[in-house]
């Protein structure tokens, strides 16, 4: 099978993969299978190694098979017949219906770089997969470049192939998850402090407001009320909560009558800016620069407990199983559990030295917690 010359291969000719011609002189290399052929990228002609899997012992020949040098069974992985699948092979090294056609191919360990760049001309005939999911491990595929300042929020709506990112450069960018290319830039009028999505809604916290977009109808709203930067957003009990720089937590409820978000409550108690929010069960947890965590009942919107074990800003909160995890600039991660009285108490403290990114600590070290 020959590939037409193009910008990727120049005039290099990729020969067919039937192996050496019948009657060719045998050598020690003729008993080995070409590893480059197995990977789908051998371009030697003639190749001294076999372009076929070695036959099984006492294999009975079937129709559409022929003997090669030394009695080996040869199959062309790019043609129909000769195997269980028949009808040729796709880019995964499998025949129609998911069969392997009798030949085991090694799936390339990386996606097509031309596909990632958005300009692969081979389509389904490309020998490299057109997908991002290639292994059980996490590897860097491609950086999404475009923001001019630090990225402060990302959102990947359920069922969507678009990723949203917000930055202190005052923009929200829309990225195509299939190509990794920026599909749009939206100025929001201020530094983005946080971002979340829920159903068709995208919420963006900026100074003195929360921007709202309906990604299905393209409707846009501007929720006023916050004073200063909005640092965190959360949704619980059909309410939208916003953590503000002045220490308040504002709540809005969507009205089907007006088709808008209307103010529902203002939760006060923190003495300094609220920088983290998380909802767990019927509780809202808030972390603040005043070094405390407050627990709010979502039914009554009243503060039912104040946690004061941290000695610096509480940067991150996470509800995990029946535990609450908190991360602070005091270089600790604390694990909280409910007692018989229903109040939260610290059951484990993890000390982390040389903290440079405290907001990420809980995700980096949760697997190491022993309690």
DSSP H or E segment with residue 59: none
345 with 208, same domain? yes
Distance spanning both ends of the chain, measured CA to CA: 61
221 part of a folded domain: yes
pLDDT score for 239:
97
58 part of a folded domain: no
Instruction: Please identify, among 118, 139, 160, the residue that sits at the C-terminal boundary of a domain.
Output: 139
With a pLDDT cut of 90, the percent of the chain lying above it is: 49
211 with 329, same domain? yes
- For 126, the domain range is 107-139
253 with 115, same domain? no
303 with 213, same domain? yes
234 part of a folded domain: yes
Residue 197 clears pLDDT 80, i.e. is over it:
yes
175 part of a folded domain: no
Count how many residues are written for the chain.
371
CA distance 362 to 370: 13
126 with 241, same domain? no
Q: Is the distance from CB of 287 to CB of 270 less than 8 angstroms?
A: no
Q: Could you say which DSSP state residue 10 is in? A: T
Q: Is the distance from CB of 194 to CB of 153 less than 8 angstroms?
A: yes
46 preceded by a cis bond (ω within 30 of 0): yes
Instruction: Please identify, among 115, 139, 163, the residue that sits at the C-terminal boundary of a domain.
Output: 139
263 with 338, same domain? yes
159 part of a folded domain: no
pLDDT score for 59:
43
301 part of a folded domain: yes
Q: How confident is the model at residue 302 (pLDDT cuts 50, 70, 90)?
A: very high
215 with 335, same domain? yes
b/e 50-71 (16+ beta carbons within 10 angstroms → b) = bbbbebeeeeeeeeebeebbee
Residue 151 clears pLDDT 80, i.e. is over it:
yes
Number of structural domains found in the chain: 2
CA distance 316 to 324: 11
pLDDT score for 63:
43
113 with 208, same domain? no
Q: How confident is the model at residue 54 (pLDDT cuts 50, 70, 90)?
A: low
pLDDT score for 210:
97
Residue 213 clears pLDDT 90, i.e. is over it:
yes
Residue 313 clears pLDDT 90, i.e. is over it:
yes
229 with 346, same domain? yes
Q: What is the CATH number of the domain that holds 211?
A: 2.130.10.10
Q: How confident is the model at residue 108 (pLDDT cuts 50, 70, 90)?
A: low
pLDDT score for 115:
78
pLDDT score for 321:
83
Q: Could you say which DSSP state residue 325 is in? A: E
255 part of a folded domain: yes
218 with 342, same domain? yes
Q: Is the distance from CB of 258 to CB of 291 less than 8 angstroms?
A: no
51 part of a folded domain: no
The mean pLDDT of 286-300, rounded to a whole number, is 97
Residue 367 clears pLDDT 50, i.e. is over it:
no
> For residue range 335-359, what is the model confidence (pLDDT) as tens digits?
999 998 889 999 999 998 755 444 4
246 with 324, same domain? yes
Q: How confident is the model at residue 19 (pLDDT cuts 50, 70, 90)?
A: very low
239 with 345, same domain? yes
pLDDT score for 118:
75
């Amino acid at each position: 099978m020959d590939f037409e010359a193009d910008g990727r291969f120049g005039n290099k000719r990729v020969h067919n993969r039937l192996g050496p011609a019948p009657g060719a002189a045998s050598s020690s290399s003729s008993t080995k299978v070409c590893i480059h052929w197995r990977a789908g990228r051998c371009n030697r002609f003639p190749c001294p190694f076999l372009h076929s899997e070695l036959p099984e012992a006492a294999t009975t020949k079937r129709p559409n098979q022929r003997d090669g040098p030394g009695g080996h069974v040869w199959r062309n992985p790019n043609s129909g017949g000769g195997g269980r699948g028949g009808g040729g092979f796709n880019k995964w090294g499998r025949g129609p219906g998911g069969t392997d056609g009798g030949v085991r191919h090694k799936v390339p360990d990386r996606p097509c770089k031309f596909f990632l760049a958005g300009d692969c001309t081979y389509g389904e005939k490309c020998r490299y997969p057109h997908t991002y999911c290639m292994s059980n491990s996490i590897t860097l595929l491609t950086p999404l470049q475009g923001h001019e300042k630090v990225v402060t929020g990302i959102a990947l709506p359920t069922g969507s192939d678009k990723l949203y990112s917000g930055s202190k450069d005052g923009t929200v960018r829309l990225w195509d998850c299939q190509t990794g290319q920026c599909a749009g830039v939206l100025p929001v009028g201020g530094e983005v402090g946080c971002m979340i999505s829920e159903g068709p809604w995208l919420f963006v916290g900026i100074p003195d407001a929360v921007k709202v977009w309906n990604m299905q109808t393209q409707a846009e709203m501007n929720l006023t009320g916050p004073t200063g930067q909005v640092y965190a957003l959360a949704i619980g009990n059909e309410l939208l909560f916003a953590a503000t720089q002045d220490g308040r937590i504002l709540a809005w409820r969507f009205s089907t009558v007006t088709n808008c978000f209307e103010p529902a409550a203002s939760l006060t108690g923190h003495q300094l800016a609220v920088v983290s929010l998380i909802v767990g069960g019927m509780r809202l947890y808030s972390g603040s620069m005043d070094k405390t965590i407050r627990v709010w009942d979502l039914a009554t919107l009243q503060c039912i407990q104040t946690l004061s074990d941290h000695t610096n800003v509480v940067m991150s909160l996470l509800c995990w199983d029946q535990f609450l995890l908190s991360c602070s600039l005091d270089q600790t991660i604390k694990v909280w559990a409910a007692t018989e009285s229903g109040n939260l108490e610290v059951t484990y403290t993890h000390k982390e030295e040389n903290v440079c990114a405290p907001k990420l600590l809980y995700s980096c070290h949760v697997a190491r917690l022993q309690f």
